[in-house]
């Protein structure tokens, strides 16, 4: 009986710890989106309804919290890709996915800001992209099979196009909130098979993409 009670207590503690961690990540996403990545961690703990000790037990450094917020956003993107695959029309699914990725950058400013920085040993903008690649590649291949997406378009092409739109969002959102949608429309039009001209230059490779992204997101945080 005692063993059973101890096991139940340990299980409850683990559940409480998980709830506290989830609450902290959600609160951090909210606070960092409102006030920037240097916002008060005390405010994060307050909004999560936990003590400062609990915050630092889960996330000893600000960089650890940044990494958790970014990982949560990447998981959201992965799930968006999986949901888009349920849409029968390949072109609609592909467009919907890219639009929702951009919408995430709009609604989750913390994620958008973290895309622009890296923290050596904790967080990198390329972190988690291996999981994101799986649904994105599937969406690209299906749209091409259905004849809507240009056959020469690669995963790297799409990432570069997506990054180009996402990077303008933080600078334009308070001035022209819907400007990114116009740019995304132009981008998608250029990827469709009905585009007037296919690019003459070859696509970049995966090996070229990574250093390009590293140069785009050059600023490090400690």
Domain annotation for the chain: domains and CATH numbers? 1-60 (1.10.10), 66-220 (1.10.357.10)
Q: Of 179, 98, 106, 172, nearest to 139 (Cα)?
A: 98
Model-level pTM? 0.79
Mean local confidence (pLDDT), 149-155: 94
Residue of higher predicted confidence among 215 and 47: 47
| Cα distances (angstroms) measured from residue 211 to each of 2, 55, 119, 201 | 57, 34, 16, 19
Structure confidence at residue 208 (pLDDT): 77
Kindly indicate the confidence band of residue 209, based on its pLDDT and cuts at 50, 70 and 90.
confident
Structure confidence at residue 166 (pLDDT): 86
Other C-beta atoms lying within 10 Å of the C-beta of residue 31: 24
């Amino acid at each position: 009986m005692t063993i059973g009670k101890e096991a139940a207590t340990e299980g409850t503690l683990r559940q409480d710890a998980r709830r506290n961690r989830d609450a902290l990540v959600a609160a951090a996403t909210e606070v960092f989106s409102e006030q920037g990545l240097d916002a008060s961690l005390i405010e994060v703990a307050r909004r999560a309804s936990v003590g400062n000790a609990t915050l630092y037990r889960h996330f000893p450094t600000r960089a650890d919290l940044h990494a958790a917020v970014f990982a949560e956003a990447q998981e959201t993107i992965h799930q968006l890709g999986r949901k888009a695959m349920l849409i029968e029309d390949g072109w609609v699914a592909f467009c919907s996915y890219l639009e929702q990725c951009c919408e995430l950058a709009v609604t989750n400013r913390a994620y958008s800001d973290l895309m622009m920085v890296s923290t050596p040993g904790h967080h990198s903008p390329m972190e988690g992209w291996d999981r994101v690649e799986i649904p994105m590649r599937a969406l690209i291949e299906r749209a091409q099979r259905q004849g809507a997406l240009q056959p020469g378009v690669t995963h790297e092409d799409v990432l570069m196009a997506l990054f180009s739109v996402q990077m303008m969002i933080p600078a334009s959102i308070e001035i022209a909130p819907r400007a990114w949608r116009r740019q995304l429309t132009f981008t998608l039009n250029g990827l469709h098979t009905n585009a007037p001209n296919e690019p003459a230059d070859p696509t970049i490779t995966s090996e070229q993409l990574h250093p390009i992204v590293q140069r785009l997101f050059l600023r490090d945080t400690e």
